[in-house]
Amino acid sequence: MMIDRPTADPHSDRKDFNNIKRLLPYVWDFKGRVILALSCLILSKVAIVGMPLLLKEIVDALDGKQLLAVDSPEKVMLTLPLLFLLAYGVLRLMASLFNELRDVIFARVRYHAMRSISKRVLNHLYSLSLSYHLDRKTGGITRDLERGTNSLSSILNYLVFNIFPTAAEFIFVAIILLGKYQPHFALITFSTVIIYIVFTFLVSNWRMHYRHEMNQHESQANTYAVDGMLNYETVKYFTNEAYELNQYDNTLNKWERAAVKSQASMSLLNFGQGIIITIGVTLMMVFAAQGVVDGNMTIGDLVLVNVMMLQLFIPLGLLGIIYRSLKYSLADMDMMLKLLDTRQEVKDIENAKVLQVSESVIRFDNVCFDYNKDRKILEMVSFDIPSGQKVAVVGPSGAGKSTLARLLFRFYDVDSGSISIDGQNINSVTQTSLRDNVGIVPQDTVLFNYTIEHNIRYANLDASETEIQQAAKHANIHDFIDSLPDGYQTVVGERGLKLSGGEKQRIAIARVILKNPRILVFDEATSSLDSHSEQLILESLKEVAEKHTTLVIAHRLSTIIDADNIIVLDKGKVVEQGTHQQLLELDGLYAHLWQLQQEEESAAAEEEEGAAI
């Protein structure tokens, strides 16, 4: 849960620039709107800059000295200022109107860009391999995604609603000052703005680490709080509430101190900015007053210069905050774009064909595999599963049995050797067509936090209610579901936690039955069931498996006595294979395991009763 936002790094500007460039295509989906919004922005700024110009005319029109110069002062007195005042009001309205129009027009661009990039990232996440997802915490991924899309919105906001408009206003002001007055007015404005910006950047960079510290302590405190809540029961078991609270409060204490420093440095920044503006405006006013005294400027000019300058610094006042937020947003954006840059490990080859299943003969041929280079998991594993037969894999825990199932499903690619179905190497067919034909009941079943019905229907989204109930009956879970107050509409809780292991496994079996693939893999599918339920399911599984090519990974040997072939796997190698009878006669590892399990049968049965609730 720690937020590791990068602090200002000298190489980041280039990277930030490239990242912004990568966002442009998403914005450019709505070229017309972007151009329209930018036009509104310019119109609104023209109106804003026009206001002090009009104000000057109003002041001059009302100015006694000027009035004396005109023939009939009364007439001017009435009409001219009134006209200017009306025009002033209209300009004010225009500025506001175009401002709002710009927001409305741009909203579509912004939200559409957020939507397309979120979708693109999520799509990419689905295409990444299982190993990527096992390595990363899901919380971290969703956080990066959420922050990334929000940062896209913020970056666009800052650019379109603040940085561009301020730059536009600055240009207009410079043009007016240069056109109307002596060059030193433009010079003072220009230098004040530059000094202001440089000062803001320097101070913002310096005080960034207080914010950084604040964020770190804040998320650390959150981690303590969330972790404590997640482990609520454990905290209570050991009466460690005080310890947890202390940890939390210590971190908040550090947060508090950093927050105060952050606030103080913020005030320093604001005050410094105030000094710079005051010096600039005062200088301008001194020169303008001199101009009025010398007679080459009017009172109206003095007002114009003053108002224009103050107006220009209103959006600049937010510069410090925007600079910091922009930095954070760019860092968040970078995290999200990094997700997009993650390489797909398991990939369809070019022109991958659709898997054609007829006999569904499976062949593992000299398969070698490891998750990490330093530890071999499978070594030269070879075996066949003939059409419609049931082959069992047994062996000690950690031997690599589940890995075989993951490789067959192509969650990982083999390092050498090959796996083929009906003579087609699974690396050469599309992943979708492969997975459509293979049904797996995994060792640990995780369910969606929806209804039981939804979880079973997940195998075939078009399935009717009858089909779902049929599958549930086959998996020996229908009666249980029926006995629940909400029946099939029972919500199973996060990851299915409201159900026992055995119930979850039977739901997993039901949904594979509903999927009805040609090839079935059961990975210790009945391991969390008590002997009684196990026998019931084994009966129905036998029925289902009859028409299928089946790979059964078994913990309890008694469940696979009837297998056509039994592979004994130990430390990633096939050490024995044959039928139950042949293996017993061989008197090797299998016979040894069998004997152990027979001996422990009664004791184990009791334990199972206890474990399978």
Ligand X SMILES: Nc1ncnc2c1ncn2[C@@H]1O[C@H](COP(=O)(O)OP(=O)(O)O)[C@@H](O)[C@H]1O
Contact footprint for ligand X (CB under 6 A): 131, 134, 371-372, 377, 397-403
User: In 409-438, which positions are buried (b, 16+ CB within 10 angstroms) versus exposed (e)?
Assistant: bbbbebeebebbbbebebbebebebbbebb
Give 208 or 553: the residue with its C-beta nearer to Mg ion: 553
Q: In this structure, are residues 287 and 188 in contact, taking their beta carbons and an 8 Å threshold?
A: yes
Report the 10 Å Cβ neighbour count for 603. Answer: 9
User: Which helix (H) or strand (E) is 64 found in, with range?
Assistant: helix 64-68
Task: Return the amino acid letter for 111.
Answer: Y
Between CA 222 and CA 93 the distance in angstroms is 46
Nearest to 521 by CA among 392, 400, 421: 392
Residue number, 370 or 422, with CB nearest to ligand X: 370
Partner interacting with residue 150 (select from Mg ion, ligand X, none; CB below 5-8 Å by kind) = none
Query: Of 99 and 403, which CB lies nearer to ligand X in the complex structure?
Result: 403
From ligand X, Mg ion, none, which one binds at residue 111 (CB under 5 to 8 Å depending on kind)? none
Name the binder of 526 from ligand X, Mg ion, none, CB < 5-8 A by kind. none
**What's the closest the beta carbon of residue 446 comes to ligand X, in angstroms?**
16
399 binds, among ligand X, Mg ion, none (CB under 5 to 8 A by kind): ligand X
User: Which residue's Cβ lies closest to Mg ion?
Assistant: 402
Closer Cβ to ligand X, 164 or 594, answer by number: 594
Rounded Cα distance between 413 and 427, Å, is 8
| 404, 567 Cβ separation under 8 angstroms | no
How far apart CA 516 and CA 502 sit, in angstroms, is: 21
In angstroms, what is the minimal distance from the CB of 402 to Mg ion?
A: 3
Residues 582-611 contacting Mg ion, CB under 5 A: none
Pick between residue 139 and residue 398 the one whose CB is nearest to ligand X. Answer: 398
In whole angstroms, give the CA distance from residue 562 to residue 60.
Answer: 106
φ, ψ at 188 (rounded to 5°): -65, -45
**Of 388 and 396, which CB lies nearer to ligand X in the complex structure?**
396
Contact 388, 357 (CB under 8 A): no
In the complex, minimum distance from the CB of residue 555 to ligand X, in angstroms, rounded to a whole number: 9
Min separation Cβ 609 and ligand X, Å: 24
Measured from the CB atom, is 196 or 411 closer to Mg ion?
Answer: 411
**Interaction pattern, residues 429-448, with Mg ion; x per rule: CB under 5 A:** --------------x-----
CB of 204 to ligand X, least distance (A): 44
385 binds, among Mg ion, ligand X, none (CB under 5 to 8 A by kind): none
Provide, rounded to whole angstroms, the least separation between the CB of residue 211 and ligand X. Answer: 38
Residue 104's CB: how many other CB atoms inside 10 A? 11
Task: Tell me 11's DSSP state.
Answer: T
β 565-570/416-421 pair status: unpaired
Spatial separation of the C-alpha atoms in residues 30 and 23, rounded to whole Å: 13
Among 402, 437, 505, 549, binds Mg ion (CB under 5 A): 402
Residue ranges that bind Mg ion, judged by CB under 5 A: 402, 443
